[in-house]
Amino acid sequence: MTSMTPEGSTTPSVDELLEHVDSKYRLVLVAAKRARQINAYYSQLGEGLLENVGPLVDTAPQEKPLSIAMREINAGVLEYKQIDPAAEAVARAEAAKDPDFDFGDPLADLDALADPVPAPTEPGTDPA
C-alpha cells in the first residue's frame, strides 16, 4: 500500500523547515519577506524591470509565492543574516551626517567615454 504525502501548505513540513532556521518566528519572517520578493518579481516581469530575483526552485503553474519561499528554505538556497542593531545604528548615524550626499549616476562615466554621434547632415551639404 502506498502512503499519501500531503500537498499544499504542509509540504514541506514545519519540522523540516525548522532544521534550516533557528525559530518558527524567524521562519515566518524569512518566508514572508521572500514571498514578497517573489510576488514583486512576477509583477515586474511584464514591465521588464527585473529588480528582484525570481524563484530559486522549480515552480508549478499557479503556485503561490509563500509556497515557493517555503520550498526554497527547505532546499537550503536562501541565506539570511541577522543585522546587529548597534552596527545598524552606527550606519544610520553616518548616513544622517551628510544628508546631501549624492551617489551620482553610475553610468555618467560611461557617457563621457562614449564616442559622440555625429549630427545628421542634409544631402548635398559638406559635413566638415
Structure confidence by residue, pLDDT tens digits, 68-91: 999 999 999 988 888 888 988 888
CB atoms within 10 A of CB 118: 7
Q: What is the mean pLDDT of the chain?
A: 81
In this structure, are residues 27 and 74 in contact, taking their beta carbons and an 8 Å threshold?
Answer: no
- pLDDT, average across residues 101-128: 61
In this structure, are residues 24 and 18 in contact, taking their beta carbons and an 8 Å threshold?
Answer: yes
CB atoms within 10 A of CB 18: 14
Q: What is the pLDDT of residues 1-27, one digit of tens each?
A: 555 655 555 678 999 999 999 999 999
3, burial (CB in 10 Å: exposed 0-12, middle 13-18, buried 19+):
exposed
Residues in the chain: 128
Position 16 scores a pLDDT of: 93
Position 5 scores a pLDDT of: 58
Which domains, and CATH codes, for the chain? Answer: 14-96 (3.90.940)
Task: Determine the residue type at 14.
Answer: V
Q: Which residue, chain included where needed, has cell 521562519?
A: 27
Q: Is the pLDDT of residue 108 over 70?
A: no
In this structure, are residues 68 and 37 in contact, taking their beta carbons and an 8 Å threshold?
Answer: no
- pLDDT, average across residues 101-106: 59
CA–CA distance, 77 with 20 (Å, rounded to integer): 10
Q: Is the pLDDT of residue 34 over 70?
A: yes
